[in-house]
Amino acid sequence: MAVGPGTLPEFFPVAGVKLGIASAGIKKPGRKDIVLFELAPESRVAGIFTRNQFCAAPVTLSRRHLAQKAPRYLLINTGNANAGTGERGMTDAIACCGALAERAGVSPEEVLPFSTGVIGEPLPVEKIVRALPEALANTDENRWAEAASGIMTTDTRPKGASRQLDLDGHTVTISGISKGAGMIRPNMATMLGFIATDARIEPGLLQALAVELGEKSFNRITIDGDTSTNDCCMLMASGQYGGPEIRPDSPTLAKLREALEQVYLELAHAIVRDGEGATKFVTIDVAGAAGQKEALDVAYTVAHSPLVKTALFASDPNWGRILAAVGRAGVPDLDLNALEIFLGDVCLVRNGGRADDYSEERGQAVMDREEITIAIDLKRGDVRETIWTCDFSHDYVTINAEYRT
Amino acid sequence: MAVGPGTLPEFFPVAGVKLGIASAGIKKPGRKDIVLFELAPESRVAGIFTRNQFCAAPVTLSRRHLAQKAPRYLLINTGNANAGTGERGMTDAIACCGALAERAGVSPEEVLPFSTGVIGEPLPVEKIVRALPEALANTDENRWAEAASGIMTTDTRPKGASRQLDLDGHTVTISGISKGAGMIRPNMATMLGFIATDARIEPGLLQALAVELGEKSFNRITIDGDTSTNDCCMLMASGQYGGPEIRPDSPTLAKLREALEQVYLELAHAIVRDGEGATKFVTIDVAGAAGQKEALDVAYTVAHSPLVKTALFASDPNWGRILAAVGRAGVPDLDLNALEIFLGDVCLVRNGGRADDYSEERGQAVMDREEITIAIDLKRGDVRETIWTCDFSHDYVTINAEYRT
């Protein structure tokens, strides 16, 4: 089950970025479970990583390598997260990077490892190493769609986004893929995003964009509030678009940022739409906050409330549950009589209770839709934050309760 | 569905505390939906109230009255929470207190109102006022069991606890009732607890006990993390046990505190056992914390993780989910390699990964039980906190999704 259309876009190839695919047989024989990104020299990479303290070995190693050298390869395996694997996990991640580096003629620090799949099982290093020649042999700029499928674990569909834009007469291409369906899929370590462009972007700016855009997109979605040990989102820039380097003061930056943001949002939203058991795609928009923290506290408290989420599943405009969630979000001195809550364009709460012009029929009409916005105006300031989530269905329980049976 | 035996205890009557019951027909004709506590003069009352900012009108009024005078009556109605009802809600709560006060010959400030039931509907004041004579006419010290049923909303069973103990040759009695099944039942404003004793307790100490014991019991349970707008827990002391006033330095205090704590815990645990769709009663014990906040952050993050809760429902010893929840609890510099996680007496996690001596069979044997302890030792200090929760089942979704259909 998933919300809305799930067709992959037509991917534009990104000059300087090749993808290789192979089958290591990590979980199932024949399944494409290895994806390589091969980056042209001079490429630059930035990224953001999980805030879970128990991050997986490949996350720790990717951070370290990224701080040491400009990467030439990203090595992704699915089927095994190499998380909760103790010291051996780090040894295994180092071994995979070393094997790829040797065969590709680069140094091990130029390889970033990413793993997704089951937690707590040792990484099958030999299988991965045996598959590397196949992946290296078939790298090509036109394998984005295969790569989108190659990084899936229990996602119900591949996720991708692609854009071209003109920057002062030079065509810039942006393509990206993502995976993830719960913040931690049953026993799975989940969210990965890889976005590449041929734009030439000044390194500090690239890192700033990776943080800013990740914050606005992948860090604003939640399925169940569980943060995976393996989440990573990487932004790669090959620099081959033919135009000048884009810097913080470049007039072309605004347009590039907008296009990148669209790709980030599409990829992040695709994860929510494919949320475990999701039947609704829900936007939670908190306005009128006095600060960012309180805006996000309110938004996430509503998004994580099992009572709100089950009401969304039931298409039940149960405004009391939304109101009660706002009230327990920990915002000091919140004025119940001032705030307003809207479901789509229908006002649910005003003057401390159900809005006078609210009717069950009007609320129901909004709730019956597949895409729903809950808008909360705290009337305390001018800070606004938006996050995205999905509902909580019988299928969520089924997927997560019966995963190993 | 509920966990474990649910039989009410034999209630010991509490001298100086009478209970009256009546049927106001708030939701269903004939249903006993009004419960009165009538307290002898000189009784003392203390309590704790919801931290939800949008507390219901009766909560605000009870707080106010409690600060003004020693209460003589507690007036509880079920079927309507008088929450999210704006200014009218306060007028209605005042009207009910006034009507009872007039008929009983006390001042309105000597009445504390409590409401539980549907949020956002106006309180049917006339129906309640019409039922007061019946309740006043039948007050009796032996109606605890009826009162336990009278305060239920969608609870599947009444909840009570009762104890007698000897304090220096004087028999002290403690009896209590509670209600609640989700932290907010579908559209319901939920948790209420009423504990009475005939001990004579110094007022400051009574308030301190109400806070301390409430904190250790009702404030350490969670079904779904949703805090109701109406939660209250009141401790009443009639002072008629015949012994001396118990003060902070009384040698009898320790024994009394222990007995009160048992009653508080039984009543609080009864709410978890009757949690919406609950099939497991789960104790989460966090030891070795450097402070209380981090102990509770870890405990609640595990208790609220939908992935942990669905694994408990499935009796699946999925240690990766517990580990990942601990890792995202926001504790700074947590050392994955130091901590230990136990399921019952079986070690799941040690040295950063699955414990060497763990086996699926041993984990499964613990998970198959109806009562399960998850013990987490952070190895950072000597603070320990225990909380109680239940699992997350298909029935939880059914109950909360299909409540209004």
Q: Does the beta-carbon distance from A311 to B184 stay under 8 Å?
A: no
- Provide the residue ranges of all domains of chain A, joining segments of one domain with +: 17-273, 281-401
* Share of residues in chain B with pLDDT > 70 (%): 98
Q: Tens digit of pLDDT for each residue in A381-390?
A: 999 999 999 9
- Comparing CA positions, the residue from B196, B190, B175 lying closest to residue B221 is B190
Instruction: Please count the residue pairs, one from chain A and one from chain B, whose beta carbons lie less than 8 angstroms apart.
Output: 210
- Comparing CA positions, the residue from B194, B189, B150, B188 lying closest to residue B14 is B194
Cβ-based neighbour number of residue B251 at 10 Å? 9
* Nearest residue in chain A measured CA to CA from B86: A352
SS3 B320: helix
Instruction: State which H helix or E strand residue B201 sits in.
Output: none
* Residue numbers in B near A227 (CB within 8 A): 324, 327-328
Q: Does the beta-carbon distance from A401 to B321 stay under 8 Å?
A: no
pLDDT of residue A185: 67
Alpha-carbon distances of B161 from A340, B12, B148, B158, B194, rounded to whole Å: 42, 9, 10, 10, 10
Judged against a pLDDT cut of 60, whether residue A405 lies above it is answered with no
Q: Does the beta-carbon distance from B401 to A316 stay under 8 Å?
A: yes
Please give the average per-residue pLDDT across A168-172, as a whole number: 95
What is the fold, at CATH topology level, of the domain defined by B17-273? L-amino peptidase D-ALA esterase/amidase (3.60.70)
* Residue numbers in A near B186 (CB within 8 A): 307, 318, 321
Centroid of chain to Cα A250? 28
The partner residue sitting opposite B305, judged by closest CB among A226, A349, A402, is A226
Binding residues of B for substrate: 153, 179, 190, 276, 400, 405
* Residue numbers in B near A325 (CB within 8 A): 226
Q: Which CATH superfamily is domain A281-401 in?
A: ArgJ beta chain, C-terminal domain (3.10.20.340)
Q: Does the beta-carbon distance from A314 to B402 stay under 8 Å?
A: yes
Q: B190, B197, B229, B301: which is the annotated catalytic residue?
A: B190
**Interface probe with A: pick from B80, B310, B339, most Cβ of A within 10 Å:** B310
pLDDT of residue B208: 96
The partner residue sitting opposite B405, judged by closest CB among A53, A314, A349, is A314
d(CA A97, CA A104): 10
Q: Does the beta-carbon distance from B54 to A327 stay under 8 Å?
A: yes
Q: Does the beta-carbon distance from B328 to A353 stay under 8 Å?
A: no
Give me the residues of chain B with pLDDT under 70, please. Answer: 1, 185-187, 403-405
Identify whether the C-beta of residue A78 lies closer than 8 Å to the C-beta of residue A150: yes
Confidence of residue A403 (pLDDT cuts 50, 70, 90): low
Q: Tens digit of pLDDT for each residue in B308-339?
A: 999 999 999 988 899 989 998 999 999 888 99
d(CA B207, CA B213): 10
SS3 B82: coil
**Average per-residue pLDDT in chain A?**
93
Active site residue B190: yes
A392 vs chain B: nearest CA distance in angstroms?
8
B300 vs chain A: nearest CA distance in angstroms?
13
Rounded (10°) CA dihedral A56, A61, A64, A66: -100
Q: A50, A154, A173, A190: which is the annotated catalytic residue?
A: A190
- Cβ partners under 8 Å of residue B270, min gap 6: B6, B159, B160, B161, B178
Helical packing angle, A319-327 and A292-304, nearest 10°: 140
Please give the average per-residue pLDDT across A372-394, as a whole number: 96
For A242: left if phi > 0, alpha if psi spans -120 to 50, otherwise beta; the answer is: left
Q: Tens digit of pLDDT for each residue in A301-349?
A: 999 999 999 999 999 998 889 998 999 999 999 988 899 999 999 999 9
Q: Does the beta-carbon distance from B320 to A119 stay under 8 Å?
A: yes
pLDDT of residue B405: 45
Instruction: State which H helix or E strand residue A170 sits in.
Output: strand A170-179
pLDDT of residue B226: 83
**Interface probe with A: pick from B49, B54, B230, most Cβ of A within 10 Å:** B54
pLDDT of residue A352: 83
* Share of residues in chain A with pLDDT > 90 (%): 81
SS3 B79: strand
* Nearest residue in chain B measured CA to CA from A309: B401
- Comparing CA positions, the residue from A54, A382, A307 lying closest to residue B228 is A307
Alpha-carbon distances of A390 from A222, A272, A280, B225, B393, rounded to whole Å: 8, 6, 5, 18, 18
pLDDT of residue A119: 87
Judged against a pLDDT cut of 80, whether residue A183 lies above it is answered with no
pLDDT of residue A214: 93
Q: Does the beta-carbon distance from A323 to B187 stay under 8 Å?
A: no
